[in-house]
A and B are shown apart, each in its own frame.
Chain A
């Protein structure tokens, strides 16, 4: 535990001083700021069932695919390439402590990015809201959506960490993470859109499709519905990915 705390503090400090984090943060804020800006414009043009915040959060997949791989790609791949991971493992610190420290620090950075995003709705409310625009300032959708992003982010970050563990190339790690996250985000939606009901031989896919409906989870959280199933899905998926990452680090020779 002592090693974990030391490593976590080191990883957070490294993340704060890394140009990579600042570049990813800039890209994230530019993307989400732009999306929120267009969501506000769209909301001013025509009535909609969705608030601008809800519409913006609906695009969470964009930073997930474009920004998160930038955060996770260097965690292990770069250290494996330079040999500093092997040097780290010559100390009594365990591979588990190393993996969890890198995972948690990356997740914290990811959550901090999303907390910074709340500035956009806050500024919109400050500048644009009138008493009749109660929903523009409704925080429940924003915080519900952010809870989803924080919880699903555990698995998303763990996938990125695992991808970084299996290669020495940061670029390849980012590409692998992009593909895995795209597959995971799109899988539920794709399966939902398939006419599974009419294809008997695909009947076994109904259950997994119901569990993997990522956008459905976002909708539920934003609506304030707290369902334990996605929490268990993201929690167990995170543990599985991190377990594999530990095995990968321990097995590196």
Chain B
């Protein structure tokens, strides 16, 4: 790790960040923070302003207004100081084609102020961690597959043991095996480094991240832990069931235990009907629904609670207008 320094409350702070290109506003009044050692997913549709925000935080682009700090150091006022605590892997992970992996990482280690006596050791360590030693260390970067290039980018990010790592789409273009490897690698950073990671693979983000920040059209629409966002953005629970009963009978049975329940018919097949029953979050009927339906004479073939994942949260959050956004 870098030299001992007092632990700041937040490793990354974005405060009312705004970026305008002429009349186009890419990011507007965006505020969020990442705690030390926390892994945060940064989500948003294409063109939402994720990469712009990450570039402002990394000091490769200046914001129009607002404040960004990395480990308590202002990115605008002391960019070199902020960069000492930060590693940033851009979206397309640009790498020099004509260098070998080991010599590239050695150069980057020297530029990132790694102690000269530890450069070799750090390069070997990150190459081992990213599974580069055996198959890629002596090869030209231009000859590497997309997966190995991503690994080189991540190895570069981890070289100087930074306090903060910003990864813009680190798993883009990787096959499932490679995604699993990168996921485990990022997971291993929990508690050691603050990681801000953008990805379109929401399942990955849900698996890896402690919390998520969702932006849309440059503005914050939601942030918090997945469970909290689920409660905030999806204020109902639902069950899918397969039965021979009709919709009216089903609705009547549901209303006996939860007056606010409603039933939606779904596509059916083989003479069986499929319905979705929605109940308000926190309704006690959630626990007694199945027994109540059986008691009402509804013939059930299947009943299961729908699990809302990050994808549903993301869709609900990005359907919101930015003005509705609030902190969880």
Contacts and interface: CB of A to CB of B under 8 A. Distances in A.
Chains A and B are bound partners: yes
Interface of A: 2-3, 6-7, 10, 14, 17-18, 82-84, 86-94, 253
Contact of A89 (B60, B110, B112): B60
A31 B61 CA distance: 44
A17 B62 contact: no
18 contacts: A82-B94, A82-B96, A83-B92, A84-B96, A87-B90, A87-B94, A87-B95, A90-B58, A90-B60, A90-B86, A90-B87, A91-B108, A92-B83, A92-B84, A92-B111, A92-B113, A94-B80, A253-B60
A248 to B, nearest CB: 15
B88 interface: yes
A14 B98 CA distance: 9
A90 B107 contact: no
B80 A88 contact: no
B49 interface: no
A90 B113 CA distance: 13
A88 B55 CA distance: 13
Contact of B111 (A14, A17, A88): A88
Q: Which of B61, B62, B96, B113 has the most CB of A within 10 A?
A: B96
Given A7-B111, A92-B111, A253-B62, 9 more contacts: A6-B107, A6-B110, A6-B111, A82-B96, A84-B94, A86-B90, A87-B94, A92-B113, A253-B55
Contacts of A6: 107, 110-111
A8 to B, nearest CB: 12
B64 to A, nearest CB: 11
Contact of B112 (A14, A82, A84, A91): A91
Interface string B42-75: 0000000000000100111110000000000000
Contacts of A88: 111
Nearest to B52: A253
B90 A83 contact: yes
Contacts of B111: 3, 6-7, 88, 91-93
A81 to B, nearest CB: 10
Contact of B95 (A2, A84, A89, A93): A84
Contacts of B58: 90
